[in-house]
Amino acid sequence: MKGHPIYVMGRFLEDFAVGQIFRSGPVRIDKEQIKAFGAEFDPQPFHLDEEAARDTIFGGLAASGWHTAAVTMRLLVESDLKPAGGIVGAGADEFRWPRPVRPGDELRTESEVLEVRPSRSRPDQGLIKVRTTTLNQHDEAVQIIVANLMVPRRQQGEKIALGSAPKPGIC
């Protein structure tokens, strides 16, 4: 179990399969959170103040896309995806915000495994490609990201401790 003692309870490359779906519970985004994130990282009127936001392209207060992305990450960490070694992204093949997040929206995630493959350069590692859709309370997509995550391969003696890996499409 050397190399990743923290997440030894998580899934290894061999536990992932194309078609698996992992979901997170919802979290509510309120206007104070939108403004606090905006003030720290994206200080533009449409993320800071209802009145000033009215005359912008958003027509009202909206969360920074990076706030949506950060909340999505939190939901992913709390979801049942749990790769051994943690959720470590190398980057994204696709990344879109189809609509803004508004105060009071409740966000949840659905992540589908699109690809599972061993690393060419590192025999102890592999990559999974995962499409994570962040949905609001109306089941509208507010963010779609197709990310490549690094996942360790199982070494001798390691066991999955989360129960069985979910079957494609049913978890």
Question: Given the rule CB under 8 A, which residues bind its own copies?
Answer: 3-7, 37, 40-46, 52, 55-58, 64-67, 69-71, 73-74, 77, 85-92, 94-97, 150, 152
Instruction: Give the tokens for residue 52.
Output: 């000033």
Single out the residue of 67, 154, 71, 63 nearest to residue 108, CA to CA.
71
Q: Tell whether the torsion through CA atoms of 51, 57, 60 and 62 is positive or negative.
A: negative
CA distances from 102 to 83, 119, 161 (A): 31, 40, 38
**Minimum CB distance to its own copies, residue 168 (Å):** 26
Q: What is the closest distance, in whole angstroms, from the C-beta atom of residue 162 to its own copies in the complex?
A: 16
**Residue 170 CB: number of other CB atoms within 10 A?**
8
CB closer to its own copies, 90 vs 170:
90
Identity of the residue, 74 or 117, whose beta carbon is nearer to its own copies in the bound complex: 74
Residue 21 Cβ vs its own copies, minimum distance, rounded to whole Å: 22
Q: Which is nearer to its own copies, 140 or 167 (CB)?
A: 140
